[in-house]
Structure 1
Amino acid sequence: MYMDTTELLKKVRKIEIKALGLSQNIFAGQYHSAFKGRGMAFSEVREYQYGDDVRDIDWNVTGRFHRPYVKVFEEERELTVMLLIDVSGSLDFGTTGQLKRECATEIAATLAFSAIQNNDKIGIIFFSDHVEKYIAPKKGRKHILYLIREMLTFTPESRKTDVGTGLECLNKVMKRRCTAFVISDFYTRKDFSQELRIASKKHDVVAIQVYDPRAKEMPDVGLMKVVDAETGHEMYIDTHDIRLRRKHNAYWEEREQRLHETLFQSRVDSMAVATDDDYVKMLMTLFEKRSR
């Protein structure tokens, strides 16, 4: 995707201002409570106080000072966050003023800034029907801006989709538990349930589906030329035909049901965002749900 330097800098800055503002003001605290650290880590010892758990007594220190001391633990907060971003051709579609790819980029950027606000590392796997690029997790604003530039300018080799390849890569490159957001329209002809099951057992996986509202309900606009973004196949359809529109809607519902069943069976939290939805409210709902 070609973009001159001035235009690129403007887009990066615009996304940074919006995403950073959201992560600082709206998601403050919610991201922290929704995505837990790796557990509890030893912090220090202090003298035993009434009500302390006797199981936390440090017997070595207690024996040395001849009075009881307990170990103090704190949450090992640092996370590694991976963004698995679909860069296939079907994301280059939009009928409501924004492409699915643009919506996905804003969501990914917001999550990225939320992560660095909590001092978490963040990395990216771009995937189509194969892994297009892997960027190792790091911390810091400079790294985040690099990731956003890549989201805006990356040109994939393939226009097809296989979500399973992204998940398989995640399982290979991430040896320790991480939080992984899979951001895709999930227009894939290949079953990815096995890769998802393996990933969800090892990592905290969250699926974010981005879709165009016209994919859910076909409008009555007469004769229309449609192109398969992944195969390039072209054809004309008569959207005035109510049977065609019903068939299209039924196909959408069936596909969504299969996707929901796949995610549910792997116990993966998810949300579906239309390009004309307020994704901020939907992310907040997701965070609140996970915090309960």
Structure 2
Amino acid sequence: MNASDGIRVTLSELIEMRHRVREVQLFSTPSQRSPLIGLHHSKLRGRGVDFDQVRVYQAGDDVRTIDWRVTARTQEPHTKLFHEERERPIFIMVEQSCRLFFGSGLMFKSVLAAQAASLIGWAALGHNDRVGGLVFGDNEHYEIKPRRSKQSLLQLLNRLVRVNQSLNTESRPETDALGMALRRGREVLRPGSLVIVICDERALTEGAEQQLSLLSRHCDLLLPISDPLDHALPAAGLLRFAQRGAQLELDTLNVDLRQAYKAQAEARSARWELLAQKLRILLMPLSTQSEMVEQLRDYLNPQRPVKKQ
């Protein structure tokens, strides 16, 4: 393992992520319905008119799509699928800003965000969906138009890697990079798109929250990225931080300071949960403390037994 592992991401690493798609049920299959796409279907305005196929009826399917001829012949309820259900533009919005260029767990937050975007992209492509997205940093964003091609996904991943490789601690952060990216996303999104937002947990400003509300008819999944140190300070004595000439000292042995820091983090998490409930968006916070695929599996398979530490 190289010393740089977990700090910077490489294109080969994101390409290899395609082999892990089968470990997580992100998208529905004829035999299993994903909670993520079940939520997305409930928010679609209408459906396509192009008939695709018939499959066994599943809980949550629209009863109006039942194929009564096949049902009568097989004595088992079957439903019709239309192209809109199988061919959605999937738009992955992923942050790569300097505030993500940090980590005390298995990897930097920027690497975790890139891995999550890659896994979702490969899963969508394997599900025959159009894949595109927007990579945004502190003062820039890059759009990739959704297409049903490996080249389009590789273009997105390549741009993601280039921005990731350029991250450094001397960058001057944009105060509301997420809000600006969401505003741009609203301008380019097509009806029926499924939007997935992967961003720093600390990115939820009032402006970003307003833009998410306006985008909620398209947005179905939020993945706020955090690190254990975002939620709690260790009692490690005097800690010194420096960035662009500015310095900060924290006495982590101060109990009141640690409690106030923890309370602020809990309020931030609660704000995400409240927003997700209000907008009926699926929320899956990811932490650098654990392996990304394991976390997604736990979210999408709640009946799965939890490993003992």
Please say if 1:132 is aligned against 2:146: no
Corresponding residue number in structure 1 for 2:187 = 172
Q: Output the amino acid matched with 2:276.
A: L
In structure 2, runs of 5+ residues without a counterpart are 1-7, 53-66, 71-78, 303-309
Change (3 A) 1:244 1:122: same
Distance 1:176 1:51 in 2: 30
State the Cα distance separating 1:208 from its structure 2 match.
0.1
Distance 2:27 2:184 in 1: 29
Corresponding residue number in structure 1 for 2:277 = 264
Corresponding residue number in structure 1 for 2:260 = 247
Contact 2:98 2:138 (C-alpha < 8 Å) held by counterparts: no
Q: Which protein has the larger Cα radius of gyration, Structure 1 or Structure 2?
A: 1
Residue 202 of structure 2 aligns to a residue in which SS?
A: coil
Give per-residue Cα distances to partners, 1:172-228, cap 9 Å, x unaligned.
101322111110113237312221122112x14311011111111111111111246
Greater alpha carbon shift after TM alignment, 173-182 vs 126-135: 126-135
Change (3 A) 1:227 1:262: farther
Please say if 1:26 is aligned against 2:26: no
Q: Output the amino acid matched with 1:168.
A: R
Please say if 1:118 is aligned against 2:127: yes
Please say if 1:210 is aligned against 2:207: no
Distance 1:199 1:122 in 2: 18
Change (3 A) 1:243 1:43: closer
State the Cα distance separating 1:234 from its structure 2 match.
2.5
State the Cα distance separating 1:131 from its structure 2 match.
5.3
**Identity of matched residues, %:** 20
State the Cα distance separating 1:95 from its structure 2 match.
1.1
Residue 93 of structure 1 aligns to a residue in which SS?
A: coil
Give per-residue Cα distances to partners, 1:41-70, cap 9 Å, x unaligned.
3439xxxxx9539xxxxxxxxxxxxxxxxx
Corresponding residue number in structure 2 for 1:194 = 210
Distance 1:247 1:117 in 2: 45
Distance 1:120 1:51 in 2: 28
Corresponding residue number in structure 2 for 1:102 = 111
Contact 1:223 1:240 (C-alpha < 8 Å) held by counterparts: yes
Q: Output the amino acid matched with 1:12.
A: L
Corresponding residue number in structure 2 for 1:41 = 49
Q: Output the amino acid matched with 1:205.
A: D
In structure 1, runs of 5+ residues without a counterpart are 1-7, 45-49, 54-71
Distance 1:97 1:51 in 2: 52
Corresponding residue number in structure 2 for 1:5 = none
Corresponding residue number in structure 1 for 2:10 = 11
- 2:81 is matched with which residue: 71, 74, 77? 74
Residue 247 of structure 1 aligns to a residue in which SS?
A: helix
Please say if 1:219 is aligned against 2:218: no
Distance 2:219 2:101 in 1: 28
Give per-residue Cα distances to partners, 1:215-248, cap 9 Å, x unaligned.
11111111111246xx874201111222211111
Corresponding residue number in structure 2 for 1:279 = 292
Q: Count matched residues.
A: 254
Change (3 A) 1:11 1:31: farther
Distance 2:97 2:13 in 1: 24
Corresponding residue number in structure 2 for 1:159 = 173
Residue 69 of structure 2 aligns to a residue in which SS?
A: coil
Residue 52 of structure 1 aligns to a residue in which SS?
A: helix
